[in-house]
């Protein structure tokens, strides 16, 4: 991001369809604790979610500071628009830093922001507009409140609402950084399932009705949207101590894919077929910050005594994934064509081998069976997930200070029979042949003696 053209491109991207920063004040928005008075259950679901810490997320803050320093502040508004929309709309950002932020702006993607959004100007890069007219917008046509006006919003029930931020392109190069909305739009669920049907209902990978009340003083409804907003981030939710959101993230990851394993012996080696199917995600697997996310296959083989003699896809002493592992991810390239996890440096897409919704990916593995190994051989395959590599976390927080959990999304096991032949084991069918030859010899001798 150098020179006048990148600066103009960023400014135009951010201001397209937006109100000018500073046209409103952060005090125009209610703090979420105000909403808690009537919407206690929904508040408790939101509190501790990735939306609630969109700005205070320690990984985001570290990367934001790094990006700001390396681009002379050009990324400040671009990133913050979706991480602290109130901070940007009120002009508290730029510059970045908590010292400039009001408490309400630090609350990330919060109640009064989302329910004041009145229009989308497109998909991606924070394409939202807000209307501070006293009306809270949502999915119900008959909402009434003694403290604010209420208005039905069809936008709030559609994936396009989520797509305003869950779709990000580099403002200069146009390189896709996050395409979760497009992955859904171009996938098999785009006519049957909205983002809210999976991420705002009790169903982990499908819509599930949630009867109850949206407000303590409201009517009973057939369905109330939940506000946990759970995705696959079990790392940051764990770091901030939100056990409910961490457990829900792990549960979602374990429901997103299946893995099947077939192992067979071919003379002196084993051949494995591993099938990974994206059964539960309405977008690619993984999605989101795909330059950081790691999804890979791990294979282990042990003999009858449990001794391991083959392993691919494990972690080394530095916590890095075996480079020979099959990994599903996006690799971005910098100006020199080298891989980078710094999205602000991205000038090309080097590779993207992620798994489409409902797609089955077939992978082949093989390994030599050592002589004299005690059978049967047990082969175990796992599909693992990690929010970020240890190398990336070490570069942000310092070596070993933050460790992302490795979550087993799916697994399977198979056995291979091996062993030496028994002492009396011969060529198959030899006994029958020997018996036939014996009868022929006897017949010949009888015939000869009879002459």
Question: Could you please report the per-residue DSSP string of 245-284?
Answer: HHHHHHHHHHTTEEEEEEEEEETTEEEEEEEEEE-S-SS-
Distance, CA of 126 to CA of 80 (rounded, Å): 9
Q: Which of 10-19, 120-129, 159-168, 359-368 bottoms out in mean pLDDT, i.e. has the lowest?
A: 10-19
Q: What pLDDT is recorded for position 437?
A: 53
pLDDT tens string 258-298: 999 999 999 899 999 999 999 999 999 999 999 999 999 99
Tell me what pLDDT residue 425 has: 39
| Residue 212: per-residue pLDDT | 97
The whole-number pLDDT of residue 3 equals 35
Question: Residue 22's beta-bridge partner residues?
Answer: none
Q: How far apart are CA 125 and CA 9, in angstroms?
A: 13
DSSP labels, 175-221:
-EEE-HHHHHHTSTTTTT--HHHHHSSS-SSS-----B-SSTTS--B
pLDDT tops 80 at residue 98? no
The mean of the pLDDT values for the chain is: 89
At which residue do the structure tokens 């005594």 appear?
305
Between 1 and 441, the more confident residue is 441
What pTM was estimated for this model as a whole?
A: 0.87
pLDDT digit string (tens) for 137-183?
Answer: 999 999 999 999 999 999 999 999 999 999 999 988 999 999 999 99
- Distance separating alpha carbons of residues 47 and 107, to the nearest angstrom: 10
Query: At a CB cut-off of 8 Å and minimum separation 6, what does 45 contact?
Result: 226, 227, 228
**Is omega for the bond preceding 376 within 30 degrees of 0, making it cis?**
yes
Maximal CA-CA distance, the chain? 125
Q: Kindly give the pairing relationship between strand 135-138 and strand 149-152.
A: parallel
How far is residue 87's CA from residue 22's CA, in Å, rounded to a whole number? Answer: 9
The model's pLDDT over 188-203, given as tens digits with 9 standing for 90+, comes to 999 999 999 999 999 9
| Residue 33 confidence class, pLDDT cut points 50, 70, 90 | very high
Domains of the chain in start order, with CATH, are 4-238+243-248 (no CATH), 256-416 (2.60.40.10)
pLDDT at 340 over 70: yes
pLDDT score for 4: 30
The C-alpha atoms of residue 63 and residue 345 are separated, in whole angstroms, by 13
Q: What is the DSSP-derived secondary structure letter of residue 261?
A: E
Q: Say which DSSP state 285 is in.
A: B
Predicted pLDDT at 14: 43
Mean pLDDT of 358-382: 96
Lowest mean pLDDT among 259-263, 354-358, 370-374: 370-374
User: How many residues are recorded in the chain?
Assistant: 451
pLDDT of residue 419 exceeding 80, the answer is no
């Amino acid at each position: 991001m150098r020179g006048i053209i990148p600066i103009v491109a960023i400014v135009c991207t951010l201001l397209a369809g937006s109100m000018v920063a500073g046209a409103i004040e952060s005090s125009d928005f209610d703090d979420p604790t105000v909403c808690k008075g009537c919407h206690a259950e929904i508040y408790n679901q939101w509190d501790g979610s990735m939306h609630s810490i969109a700005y205070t997320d320690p990984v985001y803050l570290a990367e934001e500071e790094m990006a700001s320093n390396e681009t002379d502040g050009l990324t400040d508004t671009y990133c913050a628009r979706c991480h602290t929309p109130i901070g940007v709309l009120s002009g508290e950002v730029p510059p970045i830093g908590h010292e400039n932020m009001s408490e309400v702006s630090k609350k990330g993607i919060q109640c009064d922001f989302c329910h004041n959004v009145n229009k989308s100007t497109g998909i991606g890069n924070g394409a939202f507009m807000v209307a501070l007219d006293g009306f809270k917008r949502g999915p119900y046509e008959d909402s009434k409140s003694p403290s604010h006006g209420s208005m039905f919003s069809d936008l709030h029930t559609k994936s396009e609402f989520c797509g305003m931020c869950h779709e990000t392109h580099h403002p200069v190069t146009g390189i896709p950084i996050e395409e979760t909305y497009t992955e859904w739009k171009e996938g098999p669920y785009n006519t049957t399932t909205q983002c809210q049907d999976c991420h705002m209902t009790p169903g982990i990978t499908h819509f599930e009705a949630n009867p109850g009340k949206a407000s303590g003083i409201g009517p009973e409804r057939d369905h109330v949207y939940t506000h946990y907003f759970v995705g696959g981030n079990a790392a940051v939710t764990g770091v901030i101590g939100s056990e409910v959101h961490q457990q829900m993230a792990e549960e979602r990851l374990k429901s997103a894919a299946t893995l099947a394993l077939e192992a067979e012996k071919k003379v002196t080696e084993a051949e494995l077929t591993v099938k990974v199917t994206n059964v539960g995600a309405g977008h690619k697997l993984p999605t989101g910050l795909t330059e950081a996310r790691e999804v890979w296959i791990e294979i282990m083989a042990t003999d009858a005594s449990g001794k391991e003699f083959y392993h691919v896809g494990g972690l080394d002493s530095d916590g890095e994934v075996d480079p020979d592992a099959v990994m599903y991810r996006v690799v971005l390239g910098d100006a020199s064509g080298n891989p980078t996890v710094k999205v602000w440096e991205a000038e090309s897409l080097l590779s993207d081998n992620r798994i489409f919704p409902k797609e089955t990916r077939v992978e082949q593995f093989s390994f030599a069976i050592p002589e004299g190994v005690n059978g049967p051989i047990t082969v175990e395959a796992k599909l693992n997930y990690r929010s970020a590599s240890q190398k990336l976390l070490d570069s942000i927080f310092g070596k070993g200070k933050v460790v992302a959990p490795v979550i087993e999304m799916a697994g399977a096991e198979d056995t291979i029979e091996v062993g030496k032949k028994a002492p009396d084991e011969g060529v198959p069918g030899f006994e029958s042949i020997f018996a036939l030859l014996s009868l022929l010899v006897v017949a010949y001798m009888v015939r000869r003696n009879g002459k």
